[in-house]
Amino acid sequence: MLYLGRYNNSIDSKGRVVIPAKFREKLGEVFVVCGGFDKSLYVYDMADFEEYAARLKELPRSDERARRFKQFFLTTATDVEPDKQGRVSIGEDLIRYAEIKKDVVVVGNGDHIEIWARERFPEADSYGDIGELASGLSEYGLLI
């Protein structure tokens, strides 16, 4: 199940954002929103979130980086349930973390969804030379 596409939206005065119907169908009735990389928010269906959390559980507690990442990922996570209009409440902490003012971009990124403040998304949308970017990934076996 892949999440694909880009949707422009806005957050309302109660901190709610509409998750596109196409995504909601795949996410299920309850899903998870948490802090992501580059001041974005990540959205996972419950099964994928639990699988990822289980992998975090295996990280060594003696590694400070692992402890900090696990703490960030799990303490920013909140389970959400969309209302009849498909809106979910993000919460003040996540809104502040993602620097969301009003407008957002909701994007599918394969195995998860990302929510970006529209003002910040152009930074992430500046891919540069895709050929150069892809050639740097050949060590992972990715060939285009």
* Segments of the chain with pLDDT less than 70: 122-137, 141-144
End-to-end Cα, the chain, rounded Å = 22
pLDDT, position 1: 74
pLDDT at 121: 87
Q: Within a domain: residue 144?
A: no
78 Cα distance to chain centroid:
12
Decide if 125 is inside a domain.
no
Predicted local confidence at residue 144, as pLDDT: 56
Handedness of CA 126, 129, 134, 136 (dihedral sign): negative
What distance in Å separates the CA atoms of residue 141 and residue 143, rounded to the nearest whole number? 6
Tokens of 121: 């998304």
Write the pLDDT tens digit of every residue in 27-66. 999 999 999 999 999 999 999 999 999 998 999 999 999 9
Indicate whether 129 belongs to any domain.
no
Write the CATH number for 24.
3.40.1550.20
In-domain check, residue 113 = yes
H helix and E strand count, the chain? 6, 8
Number of domains comprising the chain = 1
Instruction: Please check whether residue 35 is in contact with residue 94, taking contact to mean a CB–CB distance below 8 angstroms.
Output: yes
Q: In terms of Cα–Cα distance, which of 105, 112, 107 is closest to 2?
A: 112
CA dihedral 72, 73, 76, 79 (to 10 degrees): -160
Identify the pLDDT of residue 142: 61
Range of the domain at 90: 6-119
Which pLDDT score, from 0 to 100, does residue 71 have? 93
Q: Per the domain annotation, does 136 fall within a domain?
A: no
Q: What pLDDT does residue 128 have? A: 65
What's the confidence (pLDDT) of residue 133? 64
Specify the pLDDT at position 130.
63
> Does residue 43 form part of some domain?
yes
Q: Quick one: pLDDT at residue 125?
A: 65
Percent helix / strand / coil, the chain, rounded to 5: 40, 25, 35
Is 99 contained in some domain?
Answer: yes
Report the predicted TM-score, pTM, of the whole model to 2 decimal places: 0.87
By DSSP bridging, strand 41-45 and strand 87-89 are unpaired
- Tell me whether residue 137 is in a domain: no
Rounded CA gap, 68 and 80, in Å?
A: 24
